[in-house]
Structure 1
Amino acid sequence: MKLVVQIRLLPTPMQAAALEATLRACNEAATWAGEVAFEKGVRRNFALREHTYSQIKTRWGLGAQAAQHVIKKTCDAYATLAANLRAGNLGRPGSKRYRKATGKPIAFRRQSAQPYDDRMLSWRIGRRRVSIWTTAGRLKDVAFTASVEQLATLARFRKGESDLVVRDGMWFLNATCEVPQAPLNTDPVDFLGVDLGIVNIATTSDGEIMAGRQMNRDRVRERALRTKLQKRKTPSAKRRLKKRRGKEARRARDINHKIAKRVVAEAERTGRGIALEDLTGIRERVRFRKPQRATHSSWSFAQLGAFIDYKARKAGVPVVYVDPAYTSRTCAECGHIDRANRVSQAWFACRSCGFVDHADRNSSRNIRARAWELWRRGAPSTAPAPLPRQRGGAGRKRRITASDARCASPLF
């Protein structure tokens, strides 16, 4: 399986200037190649190379490998655009958004990432140095920093291209690694159910709550501070906003990694599989009132699911996705389904058998039971396929009322 290891470069001021000039030249050349591809209707690599290769080398001073990567990057961008158009992600044909996407050539930011292959980039991992090509010549002694685990992964599994990236004045190399997968455990003893929610981000069927109320208080405080700074519109407020930009996204990514690591480690230790909710299209199927939208949409559950999925594949742990409908209203003991079973956000009390449990744990137990039943029927260990886009009345969103929202810790 392919993994990307991100390392941070520590260039000197002169090296950073050379890297910046290289990115600028490559992206200006890619933008020009995009214009040529748009005007001539040529979107394939070898065909576009005939029209642009020699001009890119002479006009921007790029080497042969860099020029080829620039052309390939342009063609890949057009291929991605075509895929989004086919999937309907940019609206229907003839819509304003569709016309805007197709009516102009693709352009690249001056600091867009640039791919490097082994002819343009060489690693000295033991010394933590890289030799990298630039328009000002080859920089043979650029320092980088990485953790011990990242260095070991780079040394053993690095294969393929690496992307040069700059973000907020910091330079990174995203190196592609081919990491072998462990053999899949085809005979799990049980499944570890994971319930995803708004108040408690993840709750397992063992009763462990990960990232609960304290984290949500931090999120609310961060959101309030950001709103306050946006309203002030002073130079100092804008500087603080720029400094804090992406902080919540980075925190969410870090927490998602930690949750995924704990879930997979527990499942691997106990010989179980992992049961997850299939939340594909949740934002299209459900509509919240305005005060609830920020809370509902500010956490990336798809990212968490992706982290669990790739860590599980690496460890050989099977993952089964189940339909989450009514898991928060179903009794994990007797199977009775009733909306009144959900007494509050935190507690579940069955109206039939009297079973009482934490509501999120009860939901995760239902998810575990559904996954176990699906696995016994031969369900594969794989991520769910995306739902087809619906049109007309079938695609309308369902409004969640205030009474629904009071019991909406899990997403269902």
Structure 2
Amino acid sequence: MKKLRKAWNSFFACLRLWKEGKLEKRPGLPRYWKHRRTGKRLVRLIPVKSPRSYSLDARTLSLTLPKDLRDGNGRLVLYTKGVLRFSGTPKTLELKYDQMKRRWYAHQVVEVPEPARKTRPEKYAALDLGARVLAALAVEGLNRQILFSGRKIWKDFLYWTKRIAEEQSRLNRAGRKTSRQLRRLYQVRARRLRHAFVALAAEVVRVLKRHRVTTLFLEDLTGIRKDMDFGPGNLLVHNFWAFRMLRNLIEAACARAGIRVVPVEPRGTSSRCAVCSSPVERPVRHKVVCKRCGRVWHSDVNAALNILLLGSSKGHGAEAAPVDFQIDSGKIFKLNWGNQLVEQRKFSF
């Protein structure tokens, strides 16, 4: 009943915001909590009544017990593992059971105060999200742009996809549809992808803090995959490219660092030159050529600079020379743009 009340209160709050014009889409009704094939209700969590009923720190979780189970001080103390990433006013707590790992997890809601933004000169940056190049970062006043490659993450995703296909083939020969091992493989693939995106978001914020950026312009990709059919490429675009999760992680990391995130409509940012705003051609996937000025751009860099131009009134106005492709001994792919350098950065995950 507590979960049901919370869901409906959230629905009505979003409905009021939608009627006031603060939300673009009408919120949907809360769904039923049941298994999609068997129709049985699934309740695999224990909600804690209030913050007064528990205490959670870096090592232990203390819970109050019912009267008939109390022994001594009447509290159950459990040793925990993990890192508390947020500090603030504790709210609700839920204990959830993971069937694949056969472990209990505590999910806590914390009310974090709005971080105080330091009074310093405004400095802008823009981020373009993609599938093969996960992010292209352009910072105002910086003579290079940074590309975050998703090649190793994509290879890791393909490895676990192959493991999933092998398990599905084994189950098919046995006349079964699912198993605990198959669900575990799906979970491992999803968690490794999320872990890589967390590392990417942390690296982006480190770069922004190093250059004292105050505002990040982030493209809004809502609905970009609608009616898209790439055939064999659907695995990359529809399964691997979880841009909404990556966007949320970047926004959360920027909020903790006191950096304001402003969404920008990306329409047209990849089809025009960032210097003269003329239409561009794309002879190969990663390169665009301006029809008017003849400049050659990396496609993701061009989109990031256009997002920076749209978001700020100052713009970037970076000059560029024809591209020269080089690969150094460290296997880091670099693109030389005259006096500029576009760097493809690796990050550990």
- Confirm or deny: 8 A CA contact 1:185 1:317 kept in the other structure: no
- Confirm or deny: 8 A CA contact 2:288 2:296 kept in the other structure: yes
Paired with 1:75 and 1:183, the residues of 2 have a C-alpha distance of: 33
Residues 266, 188 of structure 1: alpha-carbon distance in 2 compared, 3 angstrom cutoff: farther
Structure 2 length-normalised TM: 0.70
Work out whether 1:167 is the aligned partner of 2:98.
Answer: yes
Identify which of 64, 67, 72 aligns with 1:133: 64
What stretches of structure 2 of length at least 5 have no aligned partner?
A: 16-24, 139-143, 316-349
- Confirm or deny: 8 A CA contact 2:157 2:193 kept in the other structure: no
Work out whether 1:143 is the aligned partner of 2:79.
Answer: yes
1:110: Cα distance to partner? 3.1
Task: Give the aligned partner of residue 385 of structure 1.
Answer: none
1:188: Cα distance to partner? 5.0
Work out whether 1:117 is the aligned partner of 2:50.
Answer: yes
Paired with 1:83 and 1:282, the residues of 2 have a C-alpha distance of: 27
Paired with 1:281 and 1:209, the residues of 2 have a C-alpha distance of: 24
Task: Give the aligned partner of residue 290 of structure 2.
Answer: 350
Task: Give the aligned partner of residue 2 of structure 2.
Answer: 72
Q: What is the Cα-based RMSD across aligned positions, in Å?
A: 3.5
What stretches of structure 1 of length at least 5 have no aligned partner?
A: 1-70, 91-97, 376-412
1:130: Cα distance to partner? 2.6
1:99: Cα distance to partner? 12
Identify which of 304, 309, 330 aligns with 2:251: 309
Instruction: Give the number of aligned pairs.
Output: 285
1:243: Cα distance to partner? 2.8
- Confirm or deny: 8 A CA contact 2:217 2:264 kept in the other structure: yes
| Residue identity opposite 2:76 in structure 1 | K
Task: Give the aligned partner of residue 271 of structure 1.
Answer: 212
Residues 372, 81 of structure 1: alpha-carbon distance in 2 compared, 3 angstrom cutoff: closer
Task: Give the aligned partner of residue 26 of structure 2.
Answer: 87
1:327: Cα distance to partner? 1.4
Task: Give the aligned partner of residue 130 of structure 2.
Answer: 197
Q: Which has the higher helix share?
A: 1
Task: Give the aligned partner of residue 325 of structure 2.
Answer: none
Paired with 1:133 and 1:110, the residues of 2 have a C-alpha distance of: 21
1:325-364 superposed matches below 5 A:
325-338=267-280, 341-364=281-304
Work out whether 1:369 is the aligned partner of 2:309.
Answer: yes
- Confirm or deny: 8 A CA contact 2:96 2:106 kept in the other structure: yes
Task: Give the aligned partner of residue 209 of structure 1.
Answer: 147
Deviations 1:335-365 (A, max 9, x none): 2113xx2221111222221212322112111
Work out whether 1:241 is the aligned partner of 2:182.
Answer: yes
1:108: Cα distance to partner? 4.7
Structure 1 length-normalised TM: 0.60
Work out whether 1:318 is the aligned partner of 2:236.
Answer: no
The structure whose RCO (Cα within 8 Å, separation 6+) is larger is 1
Residues 370, 188 of structure 1: alpha-carbon distance in 2 compared, 3 angstrom cutoff: farther
Task: Tell me the secondary structure at the aligned position of residue 192 of structure 2.
Answer: helix
Paired with 1:294 and 1:195, the residues of 2 have a C-alpha distance of: 21
Task: Give the aligned partner of residue 345 of structure 2.
Answer: none
Paired with 2:230 and 2:166, the residues of 1 have a C-alpha distance of: 22
| Residue identity opposite 2:117 in structure 1 | L
Residues 213, 99 of structure 1: alpha-carbon distance in 2 compared, 3 angstrom cutoff: closer
Paired with 2:314 and 2:220, the residues of 1 have a C-alpha distance of: 13
After TM superposition, the structure 1 stretch with the greater mean CA deviation from structure 2, 329-338 or 79-88, is 79-88
- Confirm or deny: 8 A CA contact 2:153 2:193 kept in the other structure: no
Deviations 1:45-84 (A, max 9, x none): xxxxxxxxxxxxxxxxxxxxxxxxxx32232345567789
Identify which of 169, 173, 189 aligns with 1:231: 169
Q: Which has the higher strand share?
A: 2
Over the matched positions of the two proteins, sequence identity in percent amounts to 25
1:173: Cα distance to partner? 1.6
| Residue identity opposite 1:360 in structure 2 | D
